[in-house]
């Protein structure tokens, strides 16, 4: 699985993440981890994203998450 973690959104306390596995691309936000002083903890967030990735990979394998269908355009 390929994972890309985006920038930290301080207002929402999340990071945007893109997961790619078996030709399926899935994008979602993941709650970020903060340190004791309330700052962004990149290492702990990456560990959390890895946990989420295991669930995403399972759901892709089970067919729960799949490739998005192409939108229908006028005249089709």
CA 61 → CA 5, 8, 10, 51, 65, distances in Å?
22, 29, 33, 16, 8
Supply the pLDDT for residue 74.
Answer: 64
The pLDDT value recorded for residue 75 is: 61
Q: What is the pTM of this model?
A: 0.85
pLDDT attached to residue 14: 98
| Euclidean distance between CA atoms 76 and 56, whole angstroms | 33
- pLDDT value of position 31: 98
* Tokens standing for residue 6: 């985006």
For residue range 43-63, what is the model confidence (pLDDT) as tens digits? 999 999 999 999 999 999 999
Domain extents in the chain: 2-61
Mark the ranges of the chain whose per-residue pLDDT is less than 70: 68-76
For the chain, what is the total number of helices (H) and then of strands (E)? 1, 3
């Amino acid at each position: 699985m390929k994972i890309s973690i985006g920038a930290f959104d301080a207002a929402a306390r999340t990071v945007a993440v893109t997961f790619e596995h078996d030709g399926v691309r899935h994008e979602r936000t993941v709650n970020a981890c903060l340190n004791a002083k309330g700052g962004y903890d990149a290492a702990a967030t990456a560990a959390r994203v890895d946990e989420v990735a295991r669930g995403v990979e399972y759901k892709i394998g089970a067919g729960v998450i799949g490739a998005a269908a192409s939108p229908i355009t006028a005249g089709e």
